A = this chain, B = another copy of it.
Amino acid sequence: MLMNPRGFASDNNAGIHPAILDAIIQANTGHTLAYGDDPYTSKAKEILRRHFGEDSEAFFVVNGTGANVLGISAIAGSYQAVICAATAHIECDECGAPEKFTGCKLQTVASADGKIDPSMLAGSLLGVGFEHHVQPRVISISQATEMGTVYRIPEIKELAAFAHANNLLLHMDGARIANAAVSLNCSFREMTSDAGVDVLSFGGTKNGLQYGEAVIFLKPGLAENFKYIRKQGMQLISKMRFIGAQYIPYLEKEIWKSNAIHANRMAQLLREKVTGLPGVTITQSVEANGVFAIIPEKVIKPLQEKYFFYMWNEEKSEVRWMTSFDTREEDIEDFTETLKKLLRN
């Protein structure tokens, strides 16, 4: 029932890291209270608090879209706006879930590398106090970005300072937060709580978990009503222990780190291997686990047949290759050999 053992389509196409699966198996014993009132969830939340600080509070949800939408919903009224890069997942890949659930308008900022900075945001503040305009309330950034780039800590701090100076909050979509942290060689906390982030979607599914993300409120007071928002947002799962059980080894055994280090390293390897090939241009700085490249149009289809991946920009013949925790050196070897062969034809 399988496709090619390991492709480069998405880090979501990988399975569960063995140590995580083992934790699920171990947790499958007897009864525990449902909906998060179980010891696995408590422990996982406690570990997250150690990572993000005493003022933080984590809530497990099911998936990344749920984490983003509900996290934003907790901090923005429907007449407010969320500012994000035009490439943001919340803008491009959530089928309008943010608008539907929060009522907010998403105001996008064009960005070549998926990152935004305060100099791009002046226009978003026009109309503050004017009732005909949506009111800016949230700046949402992705770390790592959808373009495989990573915000440096001072960049995050600058955005947070800009946000707070303008009565905005800073939201981080951390679907690939582990890849970003190892890229910067920093702790989660240095990049989030300590950098001024207010609300975080903490992702793990793209990095070896089966399912289950966390919405983490990094400032006191923000989480007050979130348990109701989560339930009304259909993101409260009954057998929650199996999310908690995954997070315990993920954090305690630093699987998040080893997985992300590996995936990032594979992306670097891939970048190295294809750099300089005729007709191949790397289009984004490779800082996490994604490689963006323009390649000759004629090689795309045949290459996809062996290793599936997505077209990113048809017009430019730009493709996206994602590596994951289970990508092997030989996959990259074989992939680049296949590519070379196709380029020669």
Interface residues of A (CB under 8 A from B): 1-7, 9-10, 12-16, 21, 24-25, 27-35, 39-40, 43, 62-66, 69-70, 77-81, 92-97, 99-101, 103-106, 131-135, 205-206, 210-211, 225, 227-239, 241-242, 308, 324, 326
Contacts and interface: CB of A to CB of B under 8 A. Distances in A.
Contacts of A236: 63, 65, 131
B95 A104 contact: no
Nearest to A28: B15
B78 A131 contact: no
A27 B3 contact: no
25 contacts: A2-B29, A3-B32, A13-B31, A13-B32, A13-B34, A15-B239, A16-B28, A21-B24, A21-B28, A25-B25, A62-B234, A62-B237, A66-B234, A78-B232, A79-B229, A79-B231, A79-B232, A95-B134, A99-B105, A100-B101, A100-B232, A100-B233, A210-B242, A211-B238, A234-B234
Contact of A96 (B10, B21, B43, B105): B105
A14 B80 CA distance: 30
Nearest to A69: B234
A64 B62 CA distance: 13
Nearest to A235: B234
A205 B5 CA distance: 30
A140 B34 CA distance: 25
Contacts of A229: 77, 79
Contact of A62 (B27, B63, B80): B63
Contacts of A324: 31
Contact of A15 (B2, B31, B43): B31
Nearest to A331: B31
Given A97-B232, A131-B95, A228-B135, A31 B7 contact: yes
B39 A27 contact: no
Contacts of A242: 16, 210-211
A34 B15 contact: no
Contacts of A40: 1
Given A62-B62, A96-B79, A131-B227, A30 B12 contact: no
Contacts of A9: 31, 33-34
A340 to B, nearest CB: 22
B231 A65 contact: yes
A101 B97 CA distance: 10
